[in-house]
């Protein structure tokens, strides 16, 4: 029998110091014990009390190898994080989904044996869930945030979950830091705000101490995080994956979803007002598009490369904070995604859908990207917690649409069990399924070697070069927006030291950007640039593919024109404008002083979609003012009418007007500063040209000199 250990000798001192087994512990105000590290802070431990030597890196084989299952610290940290919320998702809580199909463009047996890519023209059912990341389930759609873009393909060889975002890079390089990132971004725990935004101390404190986040900072402070519509944003698989063919030949692959209607975002001031006018703006837009038959569509494009390219590329392809610019490695379209049906029940489908990065069919495999490997390990815990047990695949939205057989049984909410006597394998009864060496999933037989270490590879150490490349790839308007976003977010940070650290990082990205932000924040002098693990490269060329404006659609298709109308409106002009909009495959909505509608010049009653107080111009991509001389005086008394025009001008939108609306332009303060985006409506024969002009979407040249109410010169 083992001898019971002696009872620890405990001696209390005057400073509440306790000695236990020669360890000096300190008792806190609440009676809890503390053991301090060399810097005076508590020693970080596991939940079992084991001290942690490295909380920055997961355990892996060598510096670039796969993660190891015996990393108990990472396992515990992710396990606890995944179980923090019930039943709401910890991240991506606010989501909206739709059904559709994926159509393969061409057979790809040379690069992958995945069944979904074996027959040209074949369609595969899909369910897609879009989401914000930081906000809770009841937050608003237009928060400045990364958007989730998760696609579940119900292939003939099982479900394939391509769980991505609308941004191709991420904040961190190692999944062990994900709980810290989300804790910092979410509401501060002592006050439970701010909601669905990162403009607070905790987030920027973490970011300013995490140089690897700087490339992502440029992306999240850009207009990518305030998309005009879910239909007008890209999606990315983020990580490097593998295609594997029948001969076990591996090809690295990065996945891109390209919207057929082009990219488009809103202005920040516009986003704030949209959230007030319609916090369900993105949901409503997707719902209306699908219900009206204007099905959203994306192309699936891939960047394919081999090990030689990976070895010669300027950055490590396993680093999730980096991209491969499309100018260096063009994308190849291989299929299209069409969303054509809304869920029958939001909870049963959009809320209960379970995405997991590890859900892949044969022919698709993983790289050693440490963030991807961590996600593969984590997501099963997430679904177990959210959906109550191991049988969440029994829910219809998660059930594969191909045959499914195994010996898994019982458990919470089991809806099916194996049939027959034998519930194990091997068995001599001949019952149940058997493995198939020829058709079953085979992992790519990569060779791995190295020490078991917690280490970040040196090839991950350049944190500023691609951040600079992203910034210099933006147009002047987009660069202004990044500076404005950084200024706004950091202005909400109370700790001046955090602001200074961020400006120090920005100096390693672009000195003009850093100076602009520092001046706006009231800095008297610039801090020194942050010491960089690797100097910022100045030789990376701009990548136009990174700009939203440069890649704009150049057409108004899929957009919405807001038409402000009054009694006496020219009926023929209104009808002609509506026809021109329809021919452009766009849509329009009518705004009137009363939602009941107006009486047009020909005596007909025209119902409105919105009353002027409930249909602000922020809800539309462009506006037209169709009034009448008899009704303009009454409209001038509507403060909302003035705001309708002033906001459209401030947000650099195209404004069409008939001559009777000139007094309203005057009241809005823009009659004396009209530019090329404020257009008198032509006769019926010229309306098509007017609508074609709307395809430019915005007059960004107006933005630097918007001075509502003052006759200041405007760009022409």
Q: Would you name the residues annotated as active-site residues?
A: 92, 165
> For residue 76, is the peptide bond before it cis, meaning its omega torsion is within 30 degrees of 0?
no
Instruction: Supply 419's token pair.
Output: 């049939």
Q: Nearest-CA neighbor of 77 among 301, 381, 284?
A: 381
Pairing of strands 622-626, 560-565: parallel
Q: Say how far apart CA 609 and CA 594 lie, in whole Å.
A: 10
For residue 575, which phi and psi values (nearest 5 degrees)? -65, -40
Residue 329 to residues 98, 302, 303, 412, 475, Cα–Cα distance (Å):
31, 10, 6, 48, 22
Question: Reduced to 3 DSSP states, what percent helix, strand and coil does the chain have, rounded to the nearest 5?
Answer: 30, 20, 50
Q: How many CB atoms lie within 10 A of CB 534?
A: 13
Pairing of strands 23-27, 33-34: antiparallel
What is the residue whose two structure tokens read 């809806």?
Answer: 415
Query: 177-184 — which CB contacts under 8 Å span 24+ positions?
Result: 177/56, 177/210, 178/78, 178/81, 178/371, 178/374, 178/378, 179/77, 179/78, 179/80, 179/81, 180/206, 181/206, 182/81, 182/90, 182/91, 182/134
Q: Say how far apart CA 223 and CA 215 lie, in whole Å.
A: 15
Residue 674 to residues 201, 238, 550, 638, Cα–Cα distance (Å):
41, 43, 25, 22
Burial of 138 from C-beta contacts in 10 A (0-12 / 13-18 / 19+): exposed
Q: What angle do CA 701, 703, 704 make, to 5 degrees?
A: 95
What single string gives the DSSP state of each residue in 632-676?
A: HHHHHT-HHHHHHHHHHHHTTB-EEE-GGGHHHHHHTT-TTS--T
Q: What is the 3-state secondary structure (H, E, C) of 523-546?
A: CCCCCCCCCCCCCCCCCCCCCHHH
């Amino acid at each position: 029998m083992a001898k019971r250990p002696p009872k620890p000798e405990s001696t209390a001192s005057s400073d509440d110091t306790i000695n236990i087994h020669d360890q000096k512990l300190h008792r806190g105000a609440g009676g809890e014990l503390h053991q301090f590290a060399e810097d005076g802070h508590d020693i970080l431990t596991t939940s079992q009390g084991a001290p942690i030597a490295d909380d920055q890196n997961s355990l892996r084989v060598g510096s670039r190898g796969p993660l190891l299952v015996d990393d108990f610290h990472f396992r515990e940290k992710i396990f606890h994080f995944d179980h923090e919320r019930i039943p709401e998702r910890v991240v991506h809580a606010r989501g909206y989904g739709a059904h559709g199909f994926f159509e393969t463009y061409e057979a790809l047996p040379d690069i992958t044996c995945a069944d979904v890519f074996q027959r040209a023209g074949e369609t595969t059912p899909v369910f897609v869930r879009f989401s914000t990341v930081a906000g809770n389930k009841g937050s608003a759609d237009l928060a400045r945030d990364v958007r989730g873009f998760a696609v579940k393909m119900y292939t003939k060889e099982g479900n394939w979950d391509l769980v991505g975002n609308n941004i191709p890079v991420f904040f961190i390089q190692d999944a062990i830091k994900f709980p810290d990132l989300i804790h910092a971004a979410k509401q501060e725990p002592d006050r439970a705000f701010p909601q669905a935004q990162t403009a607070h101390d905790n987030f920027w404190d973490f970011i300013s101490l995490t140089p690897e986040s700087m490339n992502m900072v440029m992306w999240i402070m850009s207009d990518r995080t305030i998309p005009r519509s879910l239909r007008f944003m890209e999606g990315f698989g983020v990580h490097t994956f593998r295609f594997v063919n029948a001969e076990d030949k591996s090809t690295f692959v990065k996945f891109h979803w390209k919207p057929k209607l082009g990219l488009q975002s809103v202005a920040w001031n516009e986003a704030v007002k949209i959230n007030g006018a319609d916090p369900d703006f993105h949901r409503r837009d997707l719902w209306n598009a699908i219900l009206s038959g204007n099905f959203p569509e994306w192309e699936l494009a891939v960047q394919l490369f081999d090990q030689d390219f990976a070895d010669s590329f300027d950055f490590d392809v396993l680093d999730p904070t980096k991209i491969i610019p499309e100018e260096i490695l063009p994308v190849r379209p291989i299929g299209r995604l069409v969303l054509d049906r809304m869920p029958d029940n939001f909870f049963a489908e959009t809320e209960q859908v379970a995405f997991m990065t590890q859900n892949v069919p044969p022919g698709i495999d993983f790289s050693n990207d440490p963030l991807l490997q961590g996600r593969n390990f984590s997501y099963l815990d997430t679904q177990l917690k959210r959906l109550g047990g191991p049988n969440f695949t029994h829910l219809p939205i998660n059930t594969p649409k191909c045959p499914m057989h195994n010996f898994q049984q019982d458990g919470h909410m089991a809806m099916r069990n194996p049939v027959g006597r034998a519930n194990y394998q091997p068995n001599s009864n001949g019952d149940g399924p058997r493995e198939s060496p020829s058709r079953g999933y085979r992992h790519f037989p990569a060779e791995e070697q190295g020490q078991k270490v917690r280490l970040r590879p040196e090839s991950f150490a350049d944190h500023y070069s691609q951040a600079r490349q992203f910034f210099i790839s933006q147009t002047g308007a987009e660069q202004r927006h990044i500076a404005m976003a950084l200024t706004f977010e950091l202005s909400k940070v109370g700790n001046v030291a955090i602001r200074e650290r961020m400006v120090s990082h920005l100096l390693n990205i672009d000195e003009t950007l850093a100076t602009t932000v520092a001046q706006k924040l009231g800095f008297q002098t610039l801090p020194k640039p942050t010491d960089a693990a690797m100097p910022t490269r100045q030789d990376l060329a701009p990548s136009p593919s990174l700009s939203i404006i440069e890649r704009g659609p150049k057409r108004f298709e899929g957009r919405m024109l807001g038409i402000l109308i009054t009694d006496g409106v020219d009926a023929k002009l209104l009808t002609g404008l509506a026809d021109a909009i329809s021919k452009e495959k766009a849509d329009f909505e009518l705004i009137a002083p009363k939602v009941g509608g107006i009486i047009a010049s020909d005596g007909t009653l025209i119902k409105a979609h919105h009353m002027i107080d409930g249909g602000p111009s922020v809800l539309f991509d462009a506006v037209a003012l169709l009034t009448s001389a008899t009704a303009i005086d009454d409209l001038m008394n509507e403060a909302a009418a003035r705001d309708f025009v002033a906001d459209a001008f401030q947000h650099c939108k195209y404004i069409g007007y008939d001559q009777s609306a000139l007094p309203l332009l005057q009241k809005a303060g823009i009659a004396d500063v009209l530019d090329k985006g404020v257009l008198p409506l032509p006769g019926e024969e010229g309306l098509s040209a007017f609508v074609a002009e709307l395809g430019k979407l915005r007059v960004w040249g107006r933005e630097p000199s918007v001075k509502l109410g003052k006759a200041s010169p405007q760009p022409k």
